[in-house]
Chains A and B, each alone.
Chain A
Amino acid sequence: MSKILIGRYVAGDSIVYRMDPRGKLLATILFILFVFLANNPISYIIVTIFSLAAVAATKLKPKIFWDGVKPLIWLILFTSFLQLFFTVGGTVYWRWTIFALSSYGITNAIFIFIRFTVIILISTVMTVTTKPLEIADAIEWLLKPLKLIRIPVDKIALVMSIALRFVPTLFDETFKIMNAQRSRGADFNNGGLVTRAKAITPLLVPLFINSLETAIDLSTAMESRGYRGDKGRTKFRVLKWSNVDFINLFYFVLLLGLLLVFRTH
């Protein structure tokens, strides 16, 4: 479980860390949209350079990013493989029943491979350099327009930050209960599917009860500290745009421009 990198913050210090989370979130979303504009070798090279530049700007060890790609490597290879053998067109080099190896297939496979990798890289850049609470703030800001159609954005934001705050706590709790039940002989790793599903009861029941109790305690504590719903609340964590963020977003507009120019129609 400790292998999963998505959603994990790695402490560091570089220009990417000082950027506004809203800028980073926007840039990530824009990048994922822009990647689909690329359709020829030059545009894919541009996209790759952009994402590698972002990775380099974090000043983190490359291994961290490799850890981010690793869990998805089979999905990437599988998709590339499908592209490789099931694309028809161009010069056909080899054919056997429904499988065919063609020039189109090879380029498509390479493109898909690059597309997957750069999207994972950029999202990893975002998640490792931004604290979960900052991401929640950024999402809240992005959702703000929804207030116009009466969606309770403040409440959603509060729910999000509480949920994020309790992810590590629940994780610790889960491990603790698991260890306690293991100590009295519960076995979580052996047996068939049904045995394993049954073995989870001693873990899930206490976890549910604890979460509910924590929720009740937390809400009482919030009320006793003067929380009366979202009306009239101020914000303590104020996000501020700086020049770095405008430059960051400018780069992604530049990427859009370059992709539009070099794209073949």
Chain B
Amino acid sequence: MSIKFKNVSYIYSPETPMAKKGLDNVSFELKDGSFNAIIGHTGSGKSTLMQHFNALIKPATGKIEIAGTTITPETTNKNLKDLRRHVSLVFQFPETQLFENTVLDDIAFGPKNFGYDNEKALESARYWLKKVGLSEEIGKRSPFELSGGQMRRVAIAGVMAYEPDILCLDEPAAGLDPEARKQMMALFSDYQKDGHTVILVTHNMDDVAKYADNVLVMEQGKLIKQDTPTEIFKNRKWLQEHHLEEPKASLFAAKLTNYKFTKMPLNINSLVKEIEDNLKG
């Protein structure tokens, strides 16, 4: 059930004066159970690409194979429910999608749509409410009484409650406090380790370095590179040319000019280890 994009292009409002290219001949393949990060500048086509994963938008040309479904420009809007049960999207600021009277009902909305019966949907809702770090008492409250961060957790629980095989996240931690950010990222990482595929759109290179095992770099609608984080962050000049940031650990390592690094450290743990090795040797 790997994900395959073949020569996918997308044009916004085609055949009008406002036509604009969103994706330009994008091809790649993602492995099952991998943690993928999509990075790139604002307007580079990350969100456009993401909405292709569950056919919210369909390619203008090309073909997508995902979760046993093939999406082509001719795909109709009918019968996409099965695809969306397997591939789910968490949009930026997902707290705007809450609408039910109670938190539990809101989380159970997705499972119910995908054929869970009432009891099972609520059970799953209770389980995921706990998983995102909220107490059972909150389940009975209205989602609109919660703080922004709590609403975010509820919204994310609502998408994970039917356990999609492929979870796509668009800046899920934007605007969260550091502690909540860490918790959320750990939750996604655990989810991936349970055998699901996670696709993360982000501007935070530390998250990329820490969690991802495959990185896609977008620029002006084109996919300019796909590789492991180590390879992506190896070439500083290339990163600067494409206006991409580096993880803080490798930035710091670059400042330590009198130290020798066998491998550019991408996170704090490996940075500390490398420094220790240097001091010893």
Contacts and interface: CB of A to CB of B under 8 A. Distances in A.
A49 interface: no
Contact of A210 (B16, B54, B81, B96): B96
Interface in A164-189: 173, 176-177, 179-187, 189
A206 interface: yes
21 contacts: A10-B17, A176-B91, A177-B96, A179-B51, A180-B97, A182-B56, A183-B84, A183-B159, A184-B110, A184-B159, A185-B81, A185-B112, A185-B114, A186-B113, A201-B99, A202-B97, A202-B109, A206-B97, A206-B98, A206-B99, A210-B96
B159 A189 contact: no
A194 interface: no
Contacts of A182: 56, 84
Interface in A112-168: none
In order of increasing CB-CB distance, the 5 nearest A-B pairs are A185-B113, A184-B110, A205-B99, A180-B97, A183-B89
B88 A183 contact: yes
Nearest to A201: B99
| Residue picked from B81, B88, B96, B98, most chain A C-beta under 10 Å | B96
- Count chain A CB atoms within 10 A of each CB in B17, B90, B110, B158 and give the residue with the most: B17
Given A184-B162, A185-B109, A185-B112, 12 more contacts: A176-B96, A179-B89, A179-B91, A180-B89, A182-B56, A183-B56, A183-B84, A183-B88, A184-B113, A186-B109, A202-B97, A209-B144
A64 interface: yes
B77 A177 contact: no
Interface in A195-209: 201-202, 205-206, 209
Identify which of A180, A184, A185 gathers the most chain B CB atoms within 10 Å of its CB: A184
Contacts of B110: 184-185
By DSSP majority rule, is chain A's interface helix, strand, loop, or mixed? helix
B94 interface: yes
> What interface size band does chain B fall in?
20 to 34
Contacts, number: 66
Interface residues of A, number: 25
B63 interface: no
B71 to A, nearest CB: 14
Contacts of A190: 78
A152 B280 CA distance: 79
Nearest to A181: B97
B100 to A, nearest CB: 8
B99 A179 contact: no
Interface string B114-151: 10000000000000000000000000000010000000
Contacts of B13: 2
A173 B96 contact: yes
A246 B96 CA distance: 50
Contacts of B96: 173, 176-177, 180, 206, 210
A4 interface: no
B151 to A, nearest CB: 11
B17 A180 contact: no
Contacts of A193: none
A243 to B, nearest CB: 29
Interface string B160-203: 00100000000000000000000000000000000000000000
A98 interface: no
Interface in B75-105: 77-78, 81, 84-85, 88-91, 94, 96-99
Contacts of A181: 97
A53 interface: no
Interface string A204-222: 0110011000000000000
